[in-house]
Structure 1
């Protein structure tokens, strides 16, 4: 679900609201209670969640430090 940014044309109050794509835009300002809210055009954002996205997707070659290598960065084997 996207986070939409709104601004009240009456009092200048700004807010962010997590809404479904299909949800109707907000119109009533929570600060001054007028129907003067407008949805702003803002930068899209994304969130990378979970373990391993950096290790597997953005590091290259021998810089990867994946859990399955036992923590050894060199080719040495445990005793």
Structure 2
């Protein structure tokens, strides 16, 4: 289940709530009864693998990209 961050617009109380996708969003603050607002932050998503770079979408684009070498070129 995802965790959502909420903050009260009246008192500033901030907390996280674990809710399923089918549950409605919380609307009232536990402490003062004020209105809650969902907080949105950076999403921790990492795209790995082929198909996520500009050179991956072209025919032969990956072959044109310089290969990184682990050794010395002397």
TM-score of the aligned structures, taking structure 1 as reference length: 0.51
Computed over aligned residues only, the root mean square deviation of the Cα atoms, in angstroms, reads 1.6
Provide structure 1 residue ranges, at least 5 long, that are not aligned to the other structure. 47-79
Q: Deviations over 1:17-69 (max 9, x none)?
A: 000012111011011112x10111123459xxxxxxxxxxxxxxxxxxxxxxx
Provide structure 2 residue ranges, at least 5 long, that are not aligned to the other structure. 46-74
Tell me how far apart the structure 2 counterparts of residues 19 and 4 of structure 1 sit (CA, whole Å): 7
TM-score of the aligned structures, taking structure 2 as reference length: 0.54
Tell me how far apart the structure 2 counterparts of residues 14 and 45 of structure 1 sit (CA, whole Å): 20
Name the CA shift for 1:2/1:39 in 2 (closer, same or farther; >3 Å): same
Structure 1 counterpart SS, 2:32: coil
